[in-house]
Amino acid sequence: MKRIVFLMLAGLMSSTATLAQEDDHARDDHFKGKPSETLEEAVENFSEGNQQLAELLAADELSNEQMGELHMLTYTLENALRKIDEEVDAMAVSLEEVHLGSETLDQERVATNGSDYLEAARTLVE
């Protein structure tokens, strides 16, 4: 449950990250970070990136090299958050379709959208 709440909060925060990243992407020579093309990839990058960030932040003091690593890592995390945010938005649409389908007893609508929703949800929580 903590993970779901954190991911939802992360989605809200990603809009701020998007603004900052748009500014940084104006500079083509800047580091891009690992891409997150799929939800699975985003969750993996998010998990690994957070572990790396925690390890870096555990140091009493960060060297300039570590600050550089941290800086590059934030791009990977921002990419992951952006993809997770997109996927959570799509999940909300699918879940609403399940809700509306259940009101009208539309079994096909419920089954199709329910399957899409659960596939993405399982990626986030398993």
Residues in the chain: 126
The alpha carbon of 45 is separated from its chain's Cα centroid by a whole number of angstroms, namely 9
Confidence at residue 1, expressed as pLDDT on a 0 to 100 scale: 47
Q: What is the pLDDT of residues 18-65, one digit of tens each?
A: 545 555 555 555 678 999 999 999 999 999 999 999 999 999 999 999
What are the residue ranges spanned by the domains of the chain?
A: 2-125
